[in-house]
Protein backbone atom coordinates (compact mmCIF):
# COMPACT_ATOMS: atom_id res chain seq x y z
CA UNK A 1 0.00 0.00 0.00
CA UNK A 2 1.17 3.50 -0.77
CA UNK A 3 0.01 6.98 0.10
CA UNK A 4 0.93 10.22 -1.64
CA UNK A 5 1.24 13.57 0.06
CA UNK A 6 1.00 16.47 -2.40
CA UNK A 7 1.73 20.06 -1.43
CA UNK A 8 3.01 23.27 -2.95
CA UNK A 9 5.84 25.32 -1.47
CA UNK A 10 5.66 29.13 -1.22
CA UNK A 11 8.02 29.22 -4.23
CA UNK A 12 5.42 27.45 -6.39
CA UNK A 13 7.33 24.17 -6.44
CA UNK A 14 5.11 21.11 -6.17
CA UNK A 15 6.20 18.41 -3.73
CA UNK A 16 5.02 14.81 -4.00
CA UNK A 17 5.93 12.42 -1.18
CA UNK A 18 5.25 8.73 -1.88
CA UNK A 19 4.95 6.79 1.39
CA UNK A 20 5.52 3.08 0.95
CA UNK A 21 6.29 0.97 -2.11
CA UNK A 22 6.46 2.75 -5.46
CA UNK A 23 5.79 -0.29 -7.60
CA UNK A 24 3.66 -1.37 -10.55
CA UNK A 25 0.47 -1.04 -8.51
CA UNK A 26 1.26 2.52 -7.35
CA UNK A 27 2.94 3.81 -10.53
CA UNK A 28 -0.34 4.55 -12.31
CA UNK A 29 -1.59 6.74 -9.46
CA UNK A 30 1.84 8.42 -9.24
CA UNK A 31 1.77 9.23 -12.98
CA UNK A 32 -1.73 10.66 -12.60
CA UNK A 33 -0.65 12.90 -9.71
CA UNK A 34 2.36 14.20 -11.65
CA UNK A 35 0.23 14.75 -14.76
CA UNK A 36 -2.39 16.69 -12.81
CA UNK A 37 0.26 18.93 -11.27
CA UNK A 38 1.76 19.72 -14.69
CA UNK A 39 -1.68 20.25 -16.26
CA UNK A 40 -2.50 22.61 -13.40
CA UNK A 41 0.53 24.77 -14.15
CA UNK A 42 3.08 23.35 -11.71
CA UNK A 43 6.13 22.74 -13.86
CA UNK A 44 8.74 22.43 -11.12
CA UNK A 45 8.21 19.32 -9.00
CA UNK A 46 10.25 17.67 -6.26
CA UNK A 47 9.59 14.03 -5.46
CA UNK A 48 10.56 13.50 -1.80
CA UNK A 49 11.65 9.87 -1.53
CA UNK A 50 12.45 9.92 2.19
CA UNK A 51 9.48 7.67 2.95
CA UNK A 52 9.66 5.44 -0.12
CA UNK A 53 11.03 2.09 0.97
CA UNK A 54 10.99 0.38 -2.46
CA UNK A 55 10.92 1.35 -6.13
CA UNK A 56 10.67 -0.91 -9.18
CA UNK A 57 10.92 -0.31 -12.92
CA UNK A 58 7.33 0.96 -13.07
CA UNK A 59 8.08 3.56 -10.41
CA UNK A 60 11.27 4.55 -12.22
CA UNK A 61 9.30 4.84 -15.45
CA UNK A 62 6.79 7.15 -13.76
CA UNK A 63 9.65 9.34 -12.51
CA UNK A 64 11.18 9.56 -16.00
CA UNK A 65 7.73 10.30 -17.45
CA UNK A 66 7.39 13.14 -14.95
CA UNK A 67 10.79 14.52 -15.98
CA UNK A 68 9.67 14.50 -19.61
CA UNK A 69 6.32 16.18 -18.84
CA UNK A 70 7.85 18.96 -16.75
CA UNK A 71 10.70 19.65 -19.17
CA UNK A 72 8.28 19.91 -22.09
CA UNK A 73 6.67 22.77 -20.17
CA UNK A 74 9.98 24.49 -19.42
CA UNK A 75 10.27 23.08 -15.90
CA UNK A 76 11.92 20.09 -14.30
CA UNK A 77 11.36 17.22 -11.88
CA UNK A 78 13.92 16.63 -9.18
CA UNK A 79 14.19 13.97 -6.50
CA UNK A 80 15.21 14.52 -2.90
CA UNK A 81 16.22 12.45 0.11
CA UNK A 82 16.06 8.95 -1.40
CA UNK A 83 16.19 6.09 1.08
CA UNK A 84 19.15 3.73 0.94
CA UNK A 85 17.19 1.04 -0.91
CA UNK A 86 15.85 3.51 -3.49
CA UNK A 87 19.32 5.01 -3.95
CA UNK A 88 20.67 1.52 -4.60
CA UNK A 89 18.19 1.03 -7.46
CA UNK A 90 18.96 4.49 -8.85
CA UNK A 91 22.68 3.73 -8.85
CA UNK A 92 22.20 0.25 -10.32
CA UNK A 93 20.19 1.68 -13.23
CA UNK A 94 22.45 4.74 -13.65
CA UNK A 95 19.42 6.97 -13.08
CA UNK A 96 21.20 8.63 -10.15
CA UNK A 97 23.30 10.44 -12.76
CA UNK A 98 20.20 11.60 -14.64
CA UNK A 99 18.00 12.49 -11.67
CA UNK A 100 20.85 13.72 -9.40
CA UNK A 101 19.24 13.28 -5.97
CA UNK A 102 19.14 16.36 -3.75
CA UNK A 103 19.70 16.43 0.01
CA UNK A 104 16.66 18.57 0.82
CA UNK A 105 13.25 19.29 -0.65
CA UNK A 106 13.30 23.03 0.04
CA UNK A 107 16.62 23.56 -1.78
CA UNK A 108 16.17 21.13 -4.69
CA UNK A 109 15.78 24.01 -7.16
CA UNK A 110 18.44 26.31 -5.67
CA UNK A 111 21.00 25.73 -8.43
Q: pLDDT of 66-110, one tens digit each?
A: 999 999 999 999 999 999 999 999 999 999 999 999 999 999 999
Domain ranges of the chain: 2-99
Q: What is the pLDDT of residue 95?
A: 95
In the chain, what are the helix, strand and coil shares in percent, each to the nearest 5?
40, 30, 30
CB-neighbour burial class of residue 48 (10 A; exposed 0-12, middle 13-18, buried 19+): buried
CB-based contact 90:56 (threshold 8 Å): no
Q: Can you identify the CATH homologous superfamily of domain 2-99?
A: STAS domain (3.30.750.24)
- Residue 30: HSE in the Cβ half-sphere, 13 Å Cα cutoff: 33
**Residue 105 DSSP one-character state:** S
Question: What does the pLDDT read at residue 1?
Answer: 76
Overall residue count recorded for the chain in this entry: 111
Q: What's the mean per-residue pLDDT of the chain?
A: 96
Q: What is the mean pLDDT of residues 3-24?
A: 97
Amino acid sequence: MIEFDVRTLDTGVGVVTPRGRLNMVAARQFKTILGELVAGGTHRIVVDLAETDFIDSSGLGALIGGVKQTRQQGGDLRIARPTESVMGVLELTNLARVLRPRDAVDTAFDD
